[in-house]
A and B are shown apart, each in its own frame.
Chain A
């Protein structure tokens, strides 16, 4: 059973930084693109970032571009999201999601349970 487990969520003040991690197991992590998706309380899903299977290509939502950085360590089967200059509106549950094998842009076929980020003074 594919597993992705997020960690790193916390309560932080506006303007501070936070790093999320996503540990992957039971699949060949290095062959899949990976995504971060967030969901504010009671709101719809919002895509945040995508990284290609080898880390060579990265894409971001306009709302986080220049502040967030997605990365991966295929030797450790781990995905990261470095979040800088956090804003109140970044408060959400952040999900790690696996992209489909063989497609740069494919459906998200496995999701973690999410980690909660709260930005508040």
Chain B
């Protein structure tokens, strides 16, 4: 099974500052035939279901503010919030959907400093 490891487990950032979350997969999630990374980021606010933020490692979903960006390839990925807003307080999960079992990271809790 693919093991997804996020770092850090939590982080506190001042409003307007940058937040960076890393995710490392135990195996590459890059599929050569279509050159896609089978990797996504989700945001889960308290009491809400997860929401897809970034698909295929770097594609921002419709309606997601452009302060969110995803980067990386293969087995190492990063989610960056360029200027943290109060509404970004949430737990962020990475996910590989390259094969089953689909696996998620343990989550990173983002708070305001």
A residues adjacent to B (C-beta < 8 A): 35, 37, 44-47, 50, 59, 61-62, 95, 100, 105-114
Contact = CB atoms under 8 A, between A and B. Distances in A.
Contacts of B93: 44-45
Contacts of A59: 100-101
Interface in B60-113: 61, 93, 95, 97-107
B26 to A, nearest CB: 16
B99 A105 contact: yes
A50 B100 contact: yes
Interface in B18-44: 38, 40, 42, 44
Interface of B: 38, 40, 42, 44, 49-52, 55-56, 61, 93, 95, 97-107
Given A44-B107, A61-B101, A107-B40, 9 more contacts: A44-B105, A47-B101, A107-B95, A108-B95, A109-B55, A110-B52, A111-B50, A112-B49, A113-B49
Residues of A contacting B: mostly: strand
Contacts of A113: 49
